[in-house]
Amino acid sequence: MDIFISALGFGVVTASILALAAVGFTLQAGITNVVNLAYGSMLTTGAFLAYVAQQRLQLNIWEAMAFAAVVLGIISVLINRLFVIPFVRRGVTHFNMMLVTFSVGIILEYIIVAVYGQTFYSLSGVPQNSITVGQLLFTGGQIAIIVLALLAMLTVHTLLQYTKLGKAMRAMADDKGLARGSGINVDLVTDVTWFLSGMLAGVAGVALGMDSGSFSEILGNNFLLVVVAAAVLGGAGRPYGAMIGALFVGLIMEVSTVWIPSEYKEIIALAALVAAVLYRPQGIISGRGRTVVVK
Amino acid sequence: MSIATQYYLITLAMYFFIYVILELGYNMQFGLTGIINIAVYVCVAFGGYVGATVTMGPSNFGQSYILGMNLPFPLPVIAGGIAGAVVSATVGVIVIRLRDQYQAIVTLVIAQMAYLFVGNYQPLFNGFLGLANVPHPLDTTLNLSTLRYQYVFLGITAAFAVLAFLFMQRVSHSPLGRVLRSIREDQEVAAVFGKNVIRLQMLSFVVGGFLAGVGGAFIAEYLGTISPSIWSTSEAFIVIAALLVGGTGNNYGAVLGALVLPVGIYELTQLIPSFGSATDLIDAARWILIGLLVCAFLWFRPEGLLAERKTKYRALRNVAKNPVPLPEESEPMQHEKMLS
């Protein structure tokens, strides 16, 4: 029982990081209909930006996180403007679009390698004091990640439900042409979406770097497919689904380590993704009749 | 030529012929039939592993692996091909009904699952350590000097590559090739004409997987070692990018792609002298170059250097020579007359 409880604690932390990343990924995928395979490298870039902010600007860990979020948001908009939008305008196939974003991811990753080499780095000033919540034992850093994820989810919820921008985003996710027709500035909303997605990637990347202790250039790309799994399990392109998907994937990954060796926990998450695509492409919680074409 | 240069050129030529085999297999799956397969390198890896273990004997320096055998030469390559075909069939059953983004994501995920499983489950193929000390084929029977042996091995690989090329040319110009292209263009239309789309896609997928497995067996036997580090997603990206650059759907394009990308960029940049910490920099520069190249090709020449030729059929050509006379121009309609 003891192992189970501690696995549950790890599961909640993993789920929080996943939720940050998966919501950023799925928000952008749902609204712009582009699968961004550069997202893994963006997570890595977030962690490295925080590292740079700490080393060069002497910021503390939270200021560094904010810095990483804003800079990565700008990088994200640049990726959209320089690589994605031109190809979308040309009407490139979905697979070729994925090749473009994958290439962008490779370029980002190897820019990091060119500057920092293939060695390990770590963020300083991560709170290490232990805090007990009920029977679960966390470090201060882990509690901060959980609170941060909850705050971010609340912000995304407020943005989507109670602001005009959120309404525009939801309209675009449903039907881009119709949204344009009803006077929504589609290009601006697309840019804002990429910015938000980049910010969430920045926060998630820094959280991932904090949680894993030390990281190298493969940090985010090792995590990317788990993020995709959470997003797909929640129903591709649906932020609320991604939150549930993240919780589901985070928990089954960590809790499965009670019965099977922990090396295989990622395989469990990926198997859940494959099963979801084959049997429940609309996601584990199916919403009000949104059709997803899979065949 | 000095011995070192000869060795270097042999290595380059080896990579070229091996990649020709891989690209031809991938071209059958993606170029001809339109199936997205990011898991292409899993077939290569399993072909390599099986091709290696069937020659390594029951035990080899305490490495743990399955299928320990001592098969004579052409058999390991065939065994590798069969392994590739079996893996391909397994992947195919899962992904063949999916389309587009979902097919891409699921094959990507399957590749990662296979990578993690083979790496962590040591009894299968010695885990992340990989297999080493794979015997070179025919080494003991031929009893040649090392350099001469290299030339012989190169000749064998080249022969297989040529065979694969002739086979693929035959397939693409056969009625089967035409059906596969029609499936690529529109599955529904092919199905309406009574073609069993799923079965034909599976056939193409498995044949492509066989070629990938053969290529993998050559890689393992040439290098004498195979481990998960040589088949990450980036390697699959090289295969996919090479066909894109060479020309999707064209066998000559597949050959050219193998020459330009894996050999041209990936291997020639190793010539650049690396000093100290600059090793990372050269590696990074190479990958950034490949990323930019893929974007550039998708923008400027998405059909690749050698575009797929439009097939002209004899029956249509005859029509072109003796055009069927068009019906006489009909009289303008009544109300137009009235207007004029």
pLDDT mean by block of 10 residues, chain A; 295 residues: 80 93 92 92 95 91 94 96 93 91 94 88 86 82 92 92 91 89 92 95 95 88 91 83 90 88 88 87 58 41
| Closest residue, chain A, to B119 (C-alpha) | A263
Give the residue from B96, B21, B98, B54 showing the smallest Cα distance to B221.
Answer: B54
Two tokens, residue B70: 């001592």
Distance from CA of B106 to the nearest CA of A (A): 6
- CA dist., res. B189 & res. B194, Å (int): 9
B94–A274 C-beta distance less than 8 A: yes
How far apart CA B114 and CA B112 sit, in angstroms, is 5
| Confidence at residue B274, expressed as pLDDT on a 0 to 100 scale | 56
Q: Which residues contact A99 (CB under 8 A, 6 or more apart)?
A: B240, B241, B244, B294, B298
> What's residue A41's pLDDT?
95
pLDDT for position A284? 64
Is B109 in Cβ contact with A274 (below 8 Å)?
yes
Q: Which of A126, A155, A7, A3 is nearest to A60 (CA)?
A: A126
DSSP strand pairing (A130-133 vs A214-215): unpaired
Q: Which of A116, A277, A279 to mutate to test the interface with B (most CBs of B within 10 A)?
A: A277
Q: Is the dihedral of CA A273, A36, A281, B241 positive or negative?
A: negative
Q: So what's the pLDDT on residue B272?
A: 62
Residues from chain B that touch A266, judged by Cβ atoms under 8 A, are 112, 116
> What pLDDT, on the 0 to 100 scale, is given for residue A222?
87
B283/A232 Cβ within 8 A? no
> Nearest C-alpha of chain A: how many angstroms from B100?
6
A119 Cα to chain B: minimum distance (Å)? 10
Q: Which residues of B touch A114 (CB under 8 A)?
A: 280-281, 284-285, 288
Of A92, A228, A266, the CB nearest to B105: A228
The pair phi, psi for residue A59, each rounded to 5°, is -85, 155
Contacts of B46 (CB under 8 A, 6+ apart): B80, B83, B84, B86, B87, B213, B216
Q: Rounded distance, CA B128 to CA B333, Å?
A: 80
Question: What residues of B are in contact with residue A109 (Cβ under 8 Å)?
Answer: 287
- Test A113 with B284 for CB contact under 8 angstroms: yes
Weakly modelled stretches of chain B, pLDDT under 50: 337, 340
Token couple for A175: 């039907």
In chain A, which residues have their Cβ closer than 8 Å to the Cβ of B295? 83, 100, 103-104
* A228 to B112: CB separation less than 8 angstroms, yes or no: no
Write the residue in B94, B100, B110 that is nearest to A95 by C-beta: B100
Binary contact (B240, A107; C-beta < 8 A): no
- Cβ within 8 Å, pair B117-A267: yes
CA separation for the pair B120, B229 (Å, rounded) = 13
| Residues from chain B contacting residue A102 (CB–CB below 8 Å) | 237
Q: Is the dihedral of CA B27, B33, B34, B39 positive or negative?
A: negative
Q: Specify the pairing of strand A136-139 against strand A130-133.
A: antiparallel
Q: Which chain A residue's Cα is nearest to B98? A: A295
DSSP for chain A, written as a single string: -HHHHHHHHHHHHHHHHHHHHHHHHHHHHHHH----TTHHHHHHHHHHHHHHHHHHH---HHHHHHHHHHHHHHHHHHHIIIIIHHHHHHT--HHHHHHHHHHHHHHHHHHHHHHH-S--EE-S-----EEEETTEEEEHHHHHHHHHHHHHHHHHHHHHHHSHHHHHHHHHHH-HHHHHHTT--HHHHHHHHHHHHHHHHHHHHHHHHHHHSEE-TTHHHHHHHHHHHHHHHT-TT-HHHHHHHHHHHHHHHHHGGGTS-GGGHHHHHHHHHHHHHHH-TT-SS--SS------
Burial label for A204, CB within 10 Å (0-12, 13-18, 19+), is buried
3-state helix, strand, coil in chain B (%, to 5): 70, 0, 25
- The A-side interface with B (CB below 8 A) comprises 35, 83, 86-87, 90, 92-96, 98-100, 102-104, 106-107, 109-111, 113-114, 117-118, 225, 228-229, 232, 261, 263-264, 266-267, 270-271, 273-274, 277-278, 281, 294-295
> If you count them, how many residues does chain B have?
340
Hey, are the CB atoms on A274 and B116 less than 8 Å from each other?
no
- The answer to whether A104 contacts B291, with C-beta atoms less than 8 Å apart, is yes
Q: From CA A242, how far away is CA A132, in angstroms rounded?
A: 28
Nearest-CA distance B178 → chain A (Å): 22
Return all residues near B100 (Cβ < 8 A) that are at least 6 apart: A93, A94, A95, B36
B226 SS3 class = strand
Alpha carbon of B99: minimum distance to chain A alpha carbons (Å): 5
CB-based contact A243:A150 (threshold 8 Å): no
**In whole angstroms, what is the distance from residue B132 CA to residue B119 CA?**
15
DSSP, collapsed to helix, strand or coil, labels residue B17 as: helix
Chain A residues with CB-CB distance to B299 below 8 A: 86-87, 90
**Among the residues of B173-186, which ranges form H helices?**
175-185
Task: Please choose, from the candidates B13, B49, B35, B38, the residue with its C-alpha nearest in 3D space to the C-alpha of residue B241.
Answer: B38
In angstroms, rounded to a whole number, what is the distance separating the alpha carbons of residues B313 and A60?
71
A/B interface, count of CB pairs below 8 Å:
113
Summarize pLDDT for B203-252 with one digit per residue, the tens. 999 999 999 999 999 999 888 888 888 888 888 899 999 999 999 989 99
Residue of B109, B229, B232 to mutate, interface with A, max A Cβ within 10 Å: B109
User: Cβ contacts (< 8 Å) between A257 and chain B: which residues?
Assistant: none
CA distance B298 to B310: 20
Query: Residue B249: its chain A contacts at CB < 8 A?
Result: none
Which helix (H) or strand (E) covers residue B252, if one does? Answer: helix B251-258
Please give the helix or strand (H or E) that residue B297 lies within, else none: helix B278-300
pLDDT at position B17: 94
The alpha carbon of residue A94 and the mean position of all alpha carbons in its chain are separated, in whole angstroms, by 21
Which of A97, A103, A224 best tests the B interface by mutation, with the highest count of B CBs <10 A? A103
d(CA A71, CA B44): 40
CB contact under 8 A, A95 and B98: no
Residue with tokens 């009407």: A91
A92/B295 Cβ within 8 A = no
Q: Which of A112, A217, A225 to mutate to test the interface with B (most CBs of B within 10 A)?
A: A225
DSSP state at residue B232: S
Kindly state the tokens that stand for B99. Answer: 């389309």
